[in-house]
Amino acid sequence: MKILQLSKKFPYPLNDGESLAVQALMQPLKQLGVEISLLVMSTPKHAARPETMPLALQYYKAVYSVPVDTDLKPIAAFFNLFTNKSYNISRFYNTNFAKELIGLLKQENFDLVQLETLYLAPYIDLIRANSNAKIVLRSHNVEYEIWKRMATNEHFFLKKCYLSLLYRRLRNFEIEKIKDYDLLVSITERDRLAYLNLGAKCPSMSAPMGIDLEKLPKLTAKTPNAEALRLGFIGSLDWMPNIEGVEWFLDKVWPLVQAKFPKFEFHIAGRNMPETWKNRKDSNVFFHGMVPDATDFVLAQDIIVVPLLSGGGMKIKTIEAMSLAKPLVSTTIGVEGIVGNEEQHVFLLANTPEVFFEKISFLGQNPNKLAILGNAAQQLVCGNFDRNAIAKKVLEAYEALLIKDR
């Protein structure tokens, strides 16, 4: 089987959820005998540098990149207001990328073209016109939901109106394109059902981001300093839901924590940290920026917090933290799409500042619960998120799609 994968960002280094999700499926597919080529946008924030991805080059037959400036442009965004098009989507259509895509489709006979997220859907007509390949949408989120949630949480009237316009146009595009896929692969079952409610008629399946269980580090038990627990957050800090959630935690939750536990620390890691954060004076808060090794950062924390108020799909960094046996305190959105609940003692849920503080306070007063929660989280991941098993199910669905067409 030959797959052409289209991606709107270079999936390396592996320091954000989208990149991790791409690797977690494509590597085991290659091991199952699938031939994969990648056509990727090289953007200002995610420039394509093949020298930084030696492991990936082992499982891609070829990597093609096209420079595409997907950054927000205030003037373009302003004039977009006078159209009925989604500005979120239009930023990712590029004529040079389209030309490269057409050339590849004419050069090789691909069985499948896999679109990594909705943002590659504008190229469907080109694919149909130049290839007989089946088109698979690998959905990382129900995209419009992210913007709808941000609009709901926004209090500034004009910004709220603009975010509402963005989500409505994005939803219209998502519904318009839903009839054009041959197979829909959602990262969570919840998202798959959401697509069905939007009108999806094509075959669909859920395939979560998997973990390479064979590469999980051997963990050594440590006794935490209950008086000075380390709380951590890691995620891309140029993604609006992460910015929104961390700022909410810093403004609403952290002062409550510090008042009761003055020696607790909060460590924040992620690339492209907002410049405004450099002026913050929060007590015992440490901004690390992009860390050399995300696993080492997570292992250094006693508790991982996931204070997301918007966003969608599966939070890849959450799954990673759970695989490393780290206890979580999270909003419901932060663990959306993950099997398990608070009653099963897998993670602690909190959706208000007061409850978030209560959960952290509970762990501070009962440090023996840290290991219990962490171990339960790791067991859940090992039982449900083996990337090799997930890849086999995806390949079976791909093969069934091709057989049906013969």
Dihedral angle, C-alpha 309, 281, 163, 193, nearest 10 °? -20
What 3-state DSSP class applies to 198? helix
Question: For the residues 178-190, what does the mean pLDDT come to?
Answer: 94
Q: Please report, as a single letter, which amino acid is at residue 363.
A: L
- pLDDT over 60 at 21, yes or no: yes
Question: In the chain, which residues fall in CATH 3.40.50.2000?
Answer: 2-210+386-405, 214-384
46 band by pLDDT with thresholds 50, 70 and 90: confident
H/E stretch holding 115: strand 112-116
Looking at 3.40.50.12780, 3.40.50.720, 3.40.50.2000, 3.90.228.20, the CATH number of the domain 214-384 comes to 3.40.50.2000
Which pLDDT score, from 0 to 100, does residue 11 have?
80
CA 165 to chain centre: 23
Across 116-152, b (16+ Cβ under 10 Å) vs e yields bbbbbbbbbebbeeebebbbbbbbbbbbbbbbbbbbe
Q: Which of 61-70, 117-126, 333-342, 384-393 has the lowest mean pLDDT?
A: 333-342
What 3-state DSSP class applies to 31? helix
141 band by pLDDT with thresholds 50, 70 and 90: confident
Which pLDDT score, from 0 to 100, does residue 258 have?
97
Q: What string of DSSP letters covers 215-258?
A: GPPPP------GGGPEEEEES-TTSHHHHHHHHHIIIIIHHHHH
What 3-state DSSP class applies to 1? coil
H/E stretch holding 65: strand 62-67
- pLDDT over 90 at 400, yes or no: yes
Spatial CA neighbour of 255 closest among 225, 218, 283:
283
DSSP summary character for residue 303: E
Q: Is the dihedral of CA 243, 294, 338, 379 positive or negative?
A: negative
Whether 52 contacts 15, CB under 8 Å: no
Question: For the residues 368-377, what does the mean pLDDT come to?
Answer: 92
Nearest-angstrom CA–CA distance, 357 and 329: 10
Number of helices (H) and strands (E) in the chain: give both, helices first. 16, 13
Which pLDDT score, from 0 to 100, does residue 406 have?
62
Strands (E), 290-392: 303-306, 328-330, 348-349
Bridge-based pairing state of the strands 265-269 and 230-234:
parallel
Which pLDDT score, from 0 to 100, does residue 341 have?
56
Which pLDDT score, from 0 to 100, does residue 220 have?
73
Which pLDDT score, from 0 to 100, does residue 57 have?
65
- pLDDT over 80 at 342, yes or no: no
Q: Please tell me which of 39-53, 266-280, 301-315 the model is most confident about, judged by mean pLDDT.
A: 266-280
Spatial CA neighbour of 178 closest among 165, 191, 196:
196
- pLDDT over 70 at 176, yes or no: yes
Q: Is the dihedral of CA 298, 300, 303, 308 positive or negative?
A: negative
Q: Which residues, in sequence order, are bridge partners of residue 262?
A: none
317 band by pLDDT with thresholds 50, 70 and 90: confident
Q: Which of 21-25, 134-138, 331-335 has the lowest mean pLDDT?
A: 21-25
Whether 18 contacts 140, CB under 8 Å: yes
pTM here is: 0.84
H/E stretch holding 359: helix 353-365
Evaluate whether the domain defined by 2-210+386-405 bears CATH number 3.40.190.100.
Answer: no
Residue predicted with more confidence, 12 or 150: 150
- pLDDT over 90 at 231, yes or no: yes
329 band by pLDDT with thresholds 50, 70 and 90: very high
- pLDDT over 70 at 103, yes or no: yes
Question: For the residues 49-54, what does the mean pLDDT come to?
Answer: 68
pLDDT, the chain, mean? 90
24 band by pLDDT with thresholds 50, 70 and 90: confident
Which pLDDT score, from 0 to 100, does residue 210 have?
87
